[in-house]
Amino acid sequence: MKLTDISGDINEWFDGSGPLADIVISSRIRLARNLAAYKFLNRCSVAERAAILKKLRDILISLDLGDEVFYVSVDKAPILDRDFLVERHLISRNHATGKGPRGVVIARREFFTAMINEEDHLRIQVLKGGLRLSECTEQINHIDDMIEQKVDFAFSPRYGYLTACPTNLGTGIRVSVMLHLPALKMTGQIEKFFNAARDMSLAVRGLFGEGTEAAGDFYQISNQVTLGISERDVVSQFENSIIPEIVEYENAARNQLLSKRADVLDDKIARAMALLRNAHLISSQEALFLLSHLRLGINMHKHMGISTPAIDRLYTLSQPDGDARKHRGLSITTINRLFMLTQPAHLQLNHGKPLSPTRRDALRAKIIRSALSKDIPS
């Protein structure tokens, strides 16, 4: 199994399906675990790290996950491969740049990954498209049980699962939901969302987790408290109150944009389209930013039945005229594919060799131009 086997397409959780998928991109649950028989990583020798890695890798690749699994030795992988894994949300930035023997076990369909020797000995995560946290919980709990049959995790009756950093102590659970909130951003309400999240002890981060800027109006919201609240309660808070509320605010902001600033909205969508269809050099930041506006336009049409001149242009130009399959308008899948495949490491891996930033900007622009002209005839 090579990384290029998966790099040519989007992953399953990013295919635009799932509950509330117009706003909720993905649901992710991660558990932090450490082997009882070993010290935490920062006190482990290289030999001990290697022993932990071997033990956990052997267990993980033998698990029955209902999917093919493969292993990547992160410390030995080329930088481009590591960057690709980060872009794909299969490993964290920290894992890519860390030290010593470490690796990741990945399910072929990318719903499951297990980082070995990141900050803790083991960090397993389950990812699904849309708001599907209960399903993630059920699945990760089952996987955790299977692993626990074979090893003893560090656990204390008082503090729960023991982790290298006291901030993960207890359940070791991190619930993260990735959201697309362009209208809250455009209407200047995003700071309010940050403040409300902070008051609830939640963390808001950019597309790639800790320490990253929000790009393309994508935000990750996650819990910080892991002690004294059960896994079930955290998940239920997210699934039944926090996320539905944010979705409601975003929808309200979309309606507000439409009723008060339809011209601004239209301008942004039309400009985004014009630039994306005509640019010959485009940075990944600019592409994210512009594609975000197209994504908003398509979803407003699809989920709210909105019609404005610029939104209609994404469709009416391409209304079925005899051949429905030929002109079906711009789809969310096309936009998501562009988001994913035009990231720097994706571009280079799919191109077959490293490229300079300028060459990447040219290739990115070309891919976007061709995708947009295919779906929407000019």
Distance separating alpha carbons of residues 30 and 220, to the nearest angstrom: 14
Catalytically annotated residue among 68, 148, 210, 245: 210
Q: Does 145 bind other proteins (CB under 8 A)?
A: yes
Distance separating alpha carbons of residues 207 and 336, to the nearest angstrom: 14
CB-CB contact of 172 with 160 (8 Å): yes
Q: Does 153 bind other proteins (CB under 8 A)?
A: yes
User: Among residues 1, 36, 46, 264, which is the contact residue for other proteins, using CB under 8 A?
Assistant: 36
Q: Does 99 bind other proteins (CB under 8 A)?
A: no
User: Among residues 18, 101, 160, 344, which is the contact residue for other proteins, using CB under 8 A?
Assistant: 160
Rounded to 10°, the helix 332-341/357-375 angle is 170
Phi, psi dihedrals of residue 13, rounded to the nearest 5°:
-70, -5
CB-CB contact of 232 with 251 (8 Å): no
Q: Strands (DSSP E) along the chain, which ranges?
A: 24-33, 69-72, 103-107, 112-116, 122-129, 155-156, 160-161, 173-180, 202-205, 218-223
Q: Which is nearer to other proteins, 227 or 340 (CB)?
A: 227
Residues that bind other proteins (rule: CB under 8 A) add up to a total of: 53
CB of 256: closest distance to other proteins in angstroms? Answer: 15
The 10 Å Cβ neighbour count of residue 70 is 15
Closest by CA position to 171, among listed 27, 29, 31, 28: 31
Q: Does 165 bind other proteins (CB under 8 A)?
A: yes
User: Among residues 5, 9, 68, 148, which is the contact residue for other proteins, using CB under 8 A?
Assistant: 148
Q: Does 245 bind other proteins (CB under 8 A)?
A: no
CB of 5: closest distance to other proteins in angstroms? Answer: 34
Name the site residues for other proteins (rule: CB under 8 A): 34, 36, 38-43, 119, 141, 144-145, 148-149, 152-162, 164-167, 169-171, 173, 188, 191, 194-195, 198, 201, 203-205, 210-211, 224-232
Annotated catalytic sites, by residue?
A: 30, 119, 123, 165, 167, 174, 205, 210
